[in-house]
């Protein structure tokens, strides 16, 4: 199956974008995760929301109107509301299921539904890595911000799930003689800074925070990703059903994953690790 994405740029013109992510599937994964909620599966979002609050506390100004764009849970909206820096927070999601009982706006993913120069603050946390047109999205954010508006964003960056990517590549190559992409491509820190500049945001500074999470096995990691709604949504993913040879035995995949893990000890009870590398703009990105 193939398809193309048509998006509006900041001047309202149609733009064709070759999709990397099947955003309909990404949203379906989010809805499934919400319907089958697993305790503490939102630990990455909570950490990102905490970091957002820290960054916002360093800004010596108050904001009358802010938008939380596609942040998937209420954690970011709550962080903004309790910061003491924002008078009004409008939550924007791509699906009513993600809003739940909370108030907010629903709009197509990657669309910023605000009039020009109507926002003082825009925030997007852990969704831009799933967008097919990040420059277009950031251009819309710039258009919606006032001349002295502030944008704070965080997305999964290059190095995220590197252990999983390498393990699946090696195992599938051994089992099938070739491999299909299984993990999203992620932007590196220089790309993130360039994207902010390209959108016309002044003072862009992007940095990195690594979070290492340890698991007993690769399949515990997969369960966590499913609970987050972050299993593969690649548009170019393999649609070939797993063969009987692949399904009964998980040993090849685990064998490739395990060399990255030390032996189980009292000090390291969960030896298998997964790295989550978060890119964020530490200093404000302001409209020039």
- How many domains are contained in the chain? 1
Q: What is the CATH number of the domain that holds 193?
A: 3.40.50.150
Task: Give the residue-averaged pLDDT of 136-140.
Answer: 93
Strands 5-8 and 14-17: antiparallel
Q: Cα separation of 38 and 36, whole Å?
A: 6
Give the confidence band of 228 by pLDDT, cuts at 50, 70, 90.
very high
Mean pLDDT of all residues belonging to the chain? 79
Other Cβ atoms closer than 10 A to 11: 8
At residue 206, φ and ψ (nearest 5 deg) are: -110, 140
Q: Cα separation of 36 and 82, whole Å?
A: 28
Give the confidence band of 79 by pLDDT, cuts at 50, 70, 90.
very high
Tokens 């972050």 correspond to what residue? Answer: 230
Q: What Cα–Cα distance (Å) separates residue 49 from each residue in 46, 53, 122, 152, 257?
A: 5, 6, 14, 11, 30
The model's pTM is: 0.79
User: Crossing angle, helix 189-198 and helix 134-144, to 10 degrees?
Assistant: 50
- The tens digit of pLDDT for each residue in 24-44 reads 999 999 999 999 999 999 999
Tokens 């890595």 correspond to what residue? Answer: 129
- At 114 the pLDDT is 98
By mean pLDDT, which of 2-6, 108-112, 153-157, 278-282 is the weakest? 2-6
Q: Which of the pair, 70 or 148, is modelled with greater confidence?
A: 70
Largest CA distance in the chain: 60
- At 284 the pLDDT is 40
Q: Cα separation of 205 and 44, whole Å?
A: 22
Alpha helices in the chain (DSSP H): 23-35, 43-57, 75-81, 96-99, 134-144, 162-176, 189-198, 218-228, 251-257
> Which residues span the domain enclosing 185?
5-287
- At 256 the pLDDT is 45
Q: Which two tokens stand for residue 170?
A: 């090696």
Q: Which of 131, 123, 122, 121 is nearest to 156 (CA)?
A: 131
Q: What Cα–Cα distance (Å) separates residue 47 from each residue in 42, 71, 211?
A: 9, 13, 9
Do 276 and 156 touch, CB atoms closer than 8 A? yes
Do 253 and 132 touch, CB atoms closer than 8 A? no
């Amino acid at each position: 199956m193939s398809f193309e994405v048509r998006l509006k740029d900041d001047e309202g013109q149609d733009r064709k974008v070759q999709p990397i992510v099947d955003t309909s599937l990404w949203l379906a994964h989010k809805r499934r995760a919400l319907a089958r909620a697993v305790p503490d599966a939102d630990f990455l979002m909570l950490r990102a929301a905490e970091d957002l609050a820290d960054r916002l506390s360093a800004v010596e100004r108050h904001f009358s109107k802010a938008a939380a764009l596609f942040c998937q849970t209420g954690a970011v909206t709550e962080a903004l509301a309790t910061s003491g820096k924002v008078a009004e927070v409008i939550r924007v999601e791509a699906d009513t299921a993600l809003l739940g009982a909370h108030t907010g706006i629903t709009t197509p993913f990657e669309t910023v539904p605000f009039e020009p120069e109507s926002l003082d603050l825009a925030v997007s946390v852990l969704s831009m890595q799933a967008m097919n047109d990040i420059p277009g999205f950031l251009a819309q954010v710039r258009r919606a911000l006032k001349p002295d508006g502030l944008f704070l964003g965080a997305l999964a960056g290059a190095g995220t799930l590197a252990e999983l990517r390498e393990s699946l590549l090696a195992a599938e190559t051994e089992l099938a003689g070739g491999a299909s992409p299984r993990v999203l491509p992620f932007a590196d820190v220089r790309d993130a800074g360039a994207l902010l500049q390209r959108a016309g945001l002044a003072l862009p500074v992007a940095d990195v925070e690594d979070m290492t999470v340890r698991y007993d096995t690769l399949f515990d990691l997969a369960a966590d990703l499913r609970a987050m709604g972050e299993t593969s949504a690649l548009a170019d993913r393999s649609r070939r059903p797993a063969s009987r040879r692949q399904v009964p035995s998980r040993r090849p995949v685990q064998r490739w994953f395990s060399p990255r893990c030390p032996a189980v000890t009292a000090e390291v009870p969960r030896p298998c690790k997964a790295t989550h590398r978060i890119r964020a703009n530490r200093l404000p990105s302001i409209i020039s």
